[in-house]
Amino acid sequence: QVTLRESGPALVKPTQTLTLTCTFSGFSLSTSGMCVSWVRQPPGKALEWLALIDWDDDKYYSTSLKTRLTISKDTSKNQVVLTMTNMDPVDTATYYCARIGDCYSANWFDPWGQGTLVTVSS
């Protein structure tokens, strides 16, 4: 059974850097074709893709946020970490990690973690 779980601070101050961790089980990110991605959702709004890391350590970022995002993985710990710099109240959202089972040809997100709500406020 594949599961993912996000963890990180519930509250960050404006200008701070956010660090989120996705801990997963049931698959290995060293398996060819495997990817993990981050998606966020502001309260009451739509989903927004943020970043992706693949089994080969290639990284991809949202064009609009790429200067603020860094994604990395620790295969031995089954974890993917996302950092976002210079946080602003508009970044208040639930942040999800999700698996992509085949980055070559099957780029849908399944399953998703439960999400973690991050509020940006002074």
Out of 47, 55, 79, 92, name the contact with another protein by CB under 8 A.
47
Q: Provide the minimum distance between the beta carbon of 28 and another protein in the complex, in angstroms, as a whole number.
A: 20
- Contact at 8 Å (CB) between 5 and 98? no
24 binds another protein (CB under 8 A): no
109 binds another protein (CB under 8 A): yes
Size of the site for another protein (CB under 8 A): 19
Nearer to another protein, 16 or 48 (CB): 48
113 binds another protein (CB under 8 A): yes
Q: Provide the minimum distance between the beta carbon of 39 and another protein in the complex, in angstroms, as a whole number.
A: 8
Nearer to another protein, 87 or 103 (CB): 103
Q: How far apart are CA 116 and CA 101, in angstroms?
A: 22
46 binds another protein (CB under 8 A): yes
3-state per-residue secondary structure call for the chain: CCEEEEECCCEECCCCCEEEEEEEECCCCCCCCCEEEEEEECCCCCCEEEEEEECCCCEEECCCCCCCEEEEEEHHHCEEEEEECCCCHHHCEEEEEEEECECCCECCCCCECCCEEEEECC
Q: Which residues bind another protein (CB under 8 A)?
A: 37, 46-49, 60, 62-63, 96, 106-115
